[in-house]
Amino acid sequence: MTGILLIDKPAGFTSFDVIAKMRGITKIRKIGHAGTLDPMATGVLPLFFENATKACDIMPNQDKRYRAQFRLGLTTDTQDITGKILTETKVTAGTADVLAVLEHFRGNIEQLPPMYSAIQVNGQRLYDIAREGKTIEREKRPVTIYELELLESDDTTHTYTIDVSCSKGTYIRTVCNDIGEALGCGATLTQLCRTEAAGFALRDCITLQEAQQKADEGTLTKCLLPIESVFASLPRITLDERRTQLFQNGVRLDLVRNKIPPIAGSFTVYGEKKGFLGIAHNDYDKNELIMEKLFSLL
């Protein structure tokens, strides 16, 4: 059972809880995932089985999309509703104010990582330091907000729902927190759903209950996506049978002699008879095709 399975993570589960559950369902130990989700969050969690785990760290598209709800006038130590309440403030801002503030968070911005995060500082996870009741200096990190739109608003309860398309490493909790700070009343994340990850969408996911049912029926493998689906955005070349064998043996093919197309950056490599082989790039200084990752064994 090799491939990618798209799971709609339920609230209350850590990403590792989902892996543990799927190990029990499939009896497969080698399972990885793309992009950790907080326990309160739901949504797209791509799982990589067996040989597909090689793709986890080289996915070309690591952008994400979320649907997030936040409440103005409330702040917590975790920046979400699961944390300890720090402040409760009277809210005078409304929908028009939220819409005006969103403009300042689109594009390339700098974000201060929350204390409750897995980022390491001097060898320690920030969340371990936070659990000791401490706060330390952190450096802001550059992130990109490609799209940020207001989907729903309720000025009575001061709750607002946004759609956010962003780069890897963006903390949606912090986006909501910073919106609240900009409005002068604070804000905390109350709901979070990841609707897209690694080019995969929520509509294509199945639940853990559905995964169990399909496993019992013997049809779960039909839900697996091929490894190469995560590289769909990359250019592609195809090698004949002789060059396929050389590539699988780790031989660096001469670009000119083997008529390798001039492609900048990484691309997928297929064999005429063997299908998807792996990922490679052209080294024009050495005139060689360089293998980055091999997925198809001899």
- Catalytic residue, chosen from 38, 80, 97, 178, is 38
CA distance 48 to 23: 12
Question: In the annotation, is 38 catalytic?
Answer: yes
Is residue 188 packed enough to be buried (19+ CB in 10 Å), middle (13-18) or exposed (0-12)? buried
**Half-sphere exposure of residue 13: CA atoms within 13 angstroms, side-chain side:** 19
How many of the other CB atoms lie within 10 Å of CB of 78? 22
- Selection from 213, 189, 224 nearest residue 37 by Cα: 189
And the tokens for 129? 């330091």
- Selection from 58, 11, 10 nearest residue 32 by Cα: 58
CA distance 202 to 163: 14
Strand ranges for the chain from DSSP E: 3-9, 31-33, 42-49, 64-72, 74-76, 85-88, 107-111, 120-121, 124-125, 141-154, 159-166, 187-197, 200-201, 236-239, 253-254, 267-271, 275-283, 288-294
Concatenate the DSSP letters of all residues of 107-119 into one string.
EEEEEPPPSSSS-
Pairing of strands 288-294, 253-254: antiparallel
Question: Annotated active-site positions, please?
Answer: 38
